[in-house]
Structure 1
Amino acid sequence: MAEIFSRWNMFRVGWRGVKLSRKVTHAAVSAQTQRRYSTDVCEQECSLFGLLFDIDGVLVRGRTPIPAAKQCFRNLVDGDGKYKVPVVFVTNAGNSLRETKAEQLSHLLEVEVSADQVVLSHSPLRVFTQFHDLCVLVSGQGPVLEVAHNVGFKNVVTIDMLREANPLLDVVDHNRRPKDTIPPSKDLPPIDAVVLFGEPIRWETNLQLITDVLLTNGRPGNPVTSLHYPHIPVLACNMDLLWMAEAKNPRSILQYIQIKKYYRLHNITVLLYFSSNKCSLGEQKILFLRNIKNRPNY
């Protein structure tokens, strides 16, 4: 009998050990499963999470980075300099190429920024394919011809090209007037649309020549016989009126105010045309950003 009780006690102790072992194993498996699930959820959330940064006045002011912005980007990259989450830079500036802006941001923020991460004000024009085969007059400063070709326009005329072809159109600056003999006008194809990349340097030249193009339905060398409405489309990339640089106060971007006032003198109803479905360029930029994952060349 004593032997039977001894074996029974050993059995009970052994069974308790088995149950305890099972509990420990189950707890370990549950913890491992929970950790794996949490990791999967984190990876899923991280893959759907990204950051869009404005640039002027938010990250930099002119050529001076905001100190907190530099520290922010140190926290956004790992030890290898790779971004922990997807990052895209969005700006209404438009007088440069994406590659140039990316190089500038890389220098100012001290992190690597690629051209694919930069969306400029003219970037959405890539999806305005209905204009790419038309002859467009481009206004702005910087490499406007290269920018126009880069976003898809195939037949481009710059303000300087139009001025050289029609030297009598730009006479405000006496030093740029024809001196002796009047050179003959050169033939250019009719202008089908006007693209405003950004603020030009010579306001009077750009305003005058764009107005001539609109009044003559794209043939600025011809006399005005009648007003055409709707006139040829004007694609405006940046509708900002103010922006922040190194100065203490905001800088003005007055091109659209001046254009509207100038057009009123000629009884032109201003039509800033953005797309066939009347969607603003800002809204097109949102649509552009939504599709940027599927458009790697952007």
Structure 2
Amino acid sequence: MRENGLISAARRMPNAAWAWEGLRRNPAYRADYRAHAHAMPATIPLYGGARLLRAPRRYLSAEEWGLLTYADPYLTADEANVFWRPDLLAGALRVKLTPLGTSSDVDDGPSDTIVLSALKTRRVLLETVDGARHILLNGRRFWIQLYSIKRAPVGDQAEVDIRFDGADHMQRRLDTAAQLLALHRSAGGKLSLIGRRRNTRPLSNALNAYDIWHGFDRPKGSLEDVAEMIVGKARMVADWGANDRALKAQAKRAIAKGEAFVAGDYRHLLAQKVL
């Protein structure tokens, strides 16, 4: 949700999406993306609307940004094919992918098998040169990233078996597993988020301040424009003058926070417990 080209203070996004909104604004990342645009993974449409990306090699420079491969910075988190490195994204969940009908979990009760192709959401798959399969399931208000270290069935006609290995970030991975199960059982209905960020205003203000001050996808604005975005036009007009010192300081802090977030602080969100 954007108001006048800005991110709404009421916007709710998972941390992985906020992190992408920071990285895609980074001028150095944008330059790197353009330099590697000729060597992007091939995109293969799959039945049911999913897409499979096949990476011809490792993208070491993208990994320095925290990604497995370059994602288009001109697209928002809702649209871009963003695959964070699983070692940085604490909620990345390891799974085993098996062909349909080969699951060893057989009983007489109703089936609760998760079928990847049946999940009613945006599905993007990335196959890396080591044979691993990474899966992005995301919408405007949730982000699920899975990975399988073993070779997987072609396409997304596969059963998903959750694997828990090690104790690191266990709560984050449990949260991801809960979201995956909720998505599986929702049949396309509204997915409830776990631990959603309660107050997004400071971060949205910081990114909006960055956009205004640096002219991201817009003409550059002034300090007054930043202040108006934060407190509204009426208060800015009333306070901008003899009593503008505090308001100017507030605007400058928002710009500085946005600059730091875009420069690298976006990574901090990948390790946080809050989805």
Higher strand share: 2
Give the TM-score taking structure 1 as reference length.
Answer: 0.24
Q: Output the TM-score relative to the length of structure 2.
A: 0.26
Q: Which has the higher helix share?
A: 1
Which structure's CA Rg is the greater one?
1
